Chain A
């Protein structure tokens, strides 16, 4: 019985909604007919009930467009601007088109913008890091017998950015990302007959600042950006492992492993990098999913202390002078904070401030 009642109420709600929209569609058609017949003055009154309650968002857009045209024709520019502003509230991404819209509406649209002042986004993803050796520093004295390879390890990042939109296409972004980065160094010492592997795991707070250019229309909107970043190294630790290829006797192997050893004190805390990236935004409703590929090129040496006593004596480890580059891929979500508004008249405020504007 309860299920039947629920189904009944659901059916009634949907029917009412559909019927309401159908009625308002008729109202909108009626208003359009009146407009085409040149009977402009009654149109606002015809549309008002449905604008107040009944239009779908799409119908609101058509209704406000019709009202804008109407007010322009009856020479009521203030109401026309208000109506166009209401249109933009309903569809912040509405762009007047001279081929589709009346030319006076098109010109009116030029007075407005819906570009968000700030666009926050949240993103997360995976990354990998590339060691760029500046000076190779190792405890081996037989360099010809030593082969060093730096390997890739996966990390992850999580954070957000805020874009300050200069205009539809250009913006300045400031981010705050926590990133866990990792990389490894494999040393084959043929003189000693050992293989040593050092996996370094680092926790970072990356603060990128960049300028971004993006396409502002379409379902898929590519973007590129470039800038700089401050990179704060919060913590670093090393997992060392050594395989002695001839111990305890020739032909047998002995593996030595040690728990993670903290070497934060051997790394610089404040670091810097260049940031390059690009990707695209995928529009879903009024919001976007982002797919972002970013490369951060480390600018400075990370090593403050070459030798850590425990690692130096335990695993013959010394740290190179190196920069760290990072390649990341993030998926994010953007909810644009649209703000339909009239554009400021360039120079007026400055003239006002200087008292030079003619009254």
Chain B
């Protein structure tokens, strides 16, 4: 009897214990993951697009070994971050800058095409959804003498064309070291075609009254009359009220031939650089950048423009500013680019700010992620730091419809950090690698 009872007790206990299998235990990969991209050599992240189907498109750069040219690295990954297809392209030194989907489901990629140290052009390429190349166009400014042109961002226009924002340098003109660049491309006879200043296009390619002017992003304001359509350019300038100034500030202006709004977000004695801007779903714009003051520490700066009409502080409605200042942010070495970006959160619940911290002494850096509410107040108690011992840098942040946060960056991996790899992280709504 005792044996029978013992067997029953142990059998019941075993049943209660149960066995965890793939069918009874949910894979965490659907909720959070870290994925590295790239093969041999170093890969650096540039931008991320979340597809309507939940897949990811990643743009970056890849240099397989120190002696080889850097090529563009384009990845299509599934919802768990696994590569569906990846390609590299470029025969000269390349630097991927931005990519966007067009309305006809072609992918546009804009790249700095560095023929040599004094000749950089912009390469605009079109790909089908399977990442097969359709065509390419090398964009150059008409200005003489030959100038380097650099792209920062790409905007898809309602007429099926594109606007490439960036800057051009004037190596021989001390009064205009950099001018904001806004090259316009349209589809003509099924091919990419760059509009020029002369007839029949009459498109103005550059703007700027300071010695340093750069466009970071362009937005199109569609009107009923196509001729009145306005293009808002956001960037950085050191001009003050159209006069040459001494420090750089956020800058917005409009272009369409007749309208020339031109305004600055003035912040005396600190140098602001706009690195990204997005249109807010509730209206207005979210501008993100960095600020470096006299103490040489960096700040991440986020600013919202409350109205679609570009003007800082217009109609006496103060714009909202947020500055994350912390000694932990440090300041990167002069050779390192400072970066901050932000995205609009779903359900209009706020914004996600992604930037970098720098340890000046060690040279290491991490990404930091912060959620801000609509009034740009910190929604989290503290930022989430992402990174290891090396130089880990931010590239893009996005929020998925289910509230998960996607962070794209470059991580310096290795026991003694050596190689750089593109990293895509899926985080929970609090920025954690957890359910």
Contact = CB atoms under 8 A, between A and B. Distances in A.
Contacts of B75: 141
Interface in B348-406: 387-390, 392
Question: By CB atoms of chain A within 10 A, which of B32, B413, B416, B421 has the most?
Answer: B413
Interface stretch (B23-31, B103-111, B122-130, B174-182): B23-31
Contacts, number: 120
A151 interface: no
A300 B20 contact: yes
Query: 10 shortest A-B CB distances, which residue pairs?
Result: A313-B388, A135-B27, A141-B35, A256-B415, A314-B415, A299-B19, A191-B39, A166-B2, A272-B17, A170-B3
Contacts of B27: 135, 137, 321
B82 A240 contact: no
Question: By CB atoms of chain B within 10 A, which of A141, A167, A256, A272 has the most?
Answer: A141
A209 B11 CA distance: 12
Nearest to B385: A309
A191 B261 CA distance: 51
Interface in B6-51: 6-7, 10, 13-14, 17-22, 25, 27-29, 32-40
Nearest to A143: B82
Contacts of A309: 388
Contacts of A143: 82-83
Contacts of A166: 2-3, 6
B136 to A, nearest CB: 26
Contacts of A134: 20-22, 25
Contacts of A211: 3, 6-7, 10
Interface string B409-425: 00111111110010010
Contacts of B81: 141
A242 B415 CA distance: 9
Nearest to A172: B6
Contacts of B28: 135, 137, 306, 321
A307 interface: yes
Interface of B: 2-3, 6-7, 10, 13-14, 17-22, 25, 27-29, 32-40, 65, 75, 77, 81-83, 86, 387-390, 392, 411-418, 421, 424, 433
Question: By CB atoms of chain B within 10 A, which of A167, A170, A309, A315 has the most?
Answer: A309
Contact of A139 (B20, B34, B83, B416): B34
Given A256-B414, A313-B417, A210 B10 contact: yes
Given A228-B10, A314-B414, A314-B415, A139 B17 contact: no
A166 B10 CA distance: 15
Contact of B413 (A210, A226, A314): A314
Nearest to B75: A141
Contacts of A300: 17, 19-20
Interface string A161-201: 00000110010100000000000000000011100000000
Contacts of B3: 166-167, 170, 211
Interface string A293-332: 0000001110000110110111110100101000000000
B434 to A, nearest CB: 8
A124 B77 CA distance: 50
B102 to A, nearest CB: 26
A250 interface: yes
A249 interface: yes
Contact of B65 (A140, A242, A249, A321): A249
Contacts of A257: 415
Interface in A31-68: none
Nearest to A303: B28
Interface residues of A, number: 47
Given A141-B82, A211-B3, A256-B415, A307 B34 contact: yes
Contacts of B77: 141
A321 B19 CA distance: 13
Contacts of A172: 6
A117 interface: no
Given A307-B34, A312-B34, 15 more contacts: A135-B22, A135-B29, A139-B34, A141-B82, A210-B10, A211-B6, A211-B7, A228-B17, A240-B415, A300-B17, A306-B28, A307-B433, A312-B388, A313-B411, A313-B412
Contacts of B417: 313-314
A264 B29 CA distance: 21
Given A166-B2, A306-B433, A228 B13 contact: yes
A352 interface: no
A214 interface: no
Nearest to B417: A313
A307 B32 CA distance: 10
Contact of B388 (A140, A274, A310): A310
B65 A301 contact: no
Nearest to A318: B34
Contacts of B388: 309-310, 312-314
Contact of A137 (B2, B29, B414, B421): B29
Contacts of B83: 141-143
A227 interface: yes
Contacts of A209: 10, 13
Nearest to A189: B39
Contact of B25 (A135, A170, A258, A316): A135
Given A228-B13, A300-B20, A313-B392, A250 B415 contact: no
Nearest to A169: B3
A246 interface: yes
B25 A301 contact: yes
A307 to B, nearest CB: 5
23 contacts: A135-B27, A139-B36, A141-B37, A191-B39, A192-B40, A211-B3, A211-B6, A211-B10, A240-B415, A242-B414, A242-B415, A256-B414, A258-B415, A299-B19, A299-B20, A301-B20, A307-B34, A310-B388, A313-B392, A313-B411, A314-B388, A316-B36, A323-B20
